[in-house]
A and B are shown apart, each in its own frame.
Chain A
Amino acid sequence: QSALTQPASVSGSPGQSITISCTGTKSDVGGYKSVSWYQQHPGEAPKLLIYDVNDWPSGVSRRFSGSRSGNTASLTISGLQTEDEADYYCCSYNGLTYVFGTGTRLTVL
């Protein structure tokens, strides 16, 4: 299965909001509620930010929010902070397997 499509990079200034898109098909992103988002800082393991399109695991800041329209899911980060600079990956479960997005590098200017 092909990776989900994300922009290679996005940037923003502290305090601003940014949105990262994740485009799949009706067989993954558009067909299942099981879209999740992960944050990965250099040299570290990924961290779960969002599951089931727009729900938060315990301890994750509400500055991170998820949504979906058709076959495209989105992660919005509001009130950007310097520590948000990292790589972000979407992921979709399709009933049998998972597929990750291509990843987006967020730069906080």
Chain B
Amino acid sequence: QVQMVQSGAEVKRPGASVKVSCKASGYTFTNYDINWVRQATGQGLEWMGWMIPKGGDSGYAQNFLGRVTLTRDTSRSTAYMELSDLRSEDTAVYYCARGPHSSYYAMDVWGQGTTVTVSS
């Protein structure tokens, strides 16, 4: 079945960077986009950006321009989200989500989430 499996929880110091992975299985990795969404504790969902695995193009939400980098390794069917210059307000659960954008614009399969804690 289609799955998105993310890497484990991270604890980082302010100013550091974090890289979260998202391994896709059960479908052709390059046929679907990958979105990244985060959720602070008790808060709503916030879209961060997306990446097109086929060519590697990416797009970012205004709030994250310059701090987030989305990449992929097609040989491993894995997408990566790297967030730099971490602040306490970046403490959140980070999700990857598949986007079937050749059919419609939404996120149809989600990873289990990766908790990132930023603390001194």
- Seen from chain A, the residues whose Cβ lies within 8 Å of a Cβ on chain B are 1, 3, 32, 34, 36, 38, 40, 45-48, 51-52, 55, 57, 89, 91, 93, 96-103
B59 with A102: CB separation less than 8 A: no
CB distance from B119 to the nearest CB of A (A): 21
B35 with A98: CB separation less than 8 A: yes
Separation of A96 and B105 alpha carbons in the complex (Å): 11
CB distance from B49 to the nearest CB of A (A): 8
Query: Can you name the residue of chain A whose Cβ is closest to the Cβ of B45?
Result: A100
A46 with B47: CB separation less than 8 A: no
Q: Which residues of B contact A93 (CB under 8 A)?
A: 105-106
B residues 59-84 near A (Cβ < 8 Å) are 59, 61-62
Complex partner residue of A96 from B46, B59, B95, CB under 8 angstroms: B59
B residues 18-53 near A (Cβ < 8 Å) are 35, 37, 44-47, 50
- Seen from chain B, the residues whose Cβ lies within 8 Å of a Cβ on chain A are 35, 37, 44-47, 50, 59, 61-62, 95, 97, 104-108, 110-113
Question: Which of B35, B37, B45, B50 has most chain A Cβ within 10 Å?
Answer: B45
In the complex, 18 of the A-B residue pairs with CB atoms within 8 angstroms, ordered by the A residue number, are: A36-B107, A38-B107, A45-B95, A45-B113, A46-B37, A46-B45, A46-B110, A48-B108, A51-B106, A51-B108, A91-B47, A91-B106, A91-B107, A93-B106, A96-B59, A97-B61, A100-B37, A101-B44
A-B contact count (CB 8 A): 66
Separation of A100 and B102 alpha carbons in the complex (Å): 21
A45 with B111: CB separation less than 8 A: yes
Q: Which residues of B contact A98 (CB under 8 A)?
A: 35, 47, 50, 61, 105
Query: Can you name the residue of chain B whose Cβ is closest to the Cβ of A37?
Result: B106
CB distance from A60 to the nearest CB of B (A): 10
A102 with B44: CB separation less than 8 A: yes
Separation of A38 and B107 alpha carbons in the complex (Å): 9
Q: Which residues of B contact A46 (CB under 8 A)?
A: 37, 45, 95, 97, 107, 110
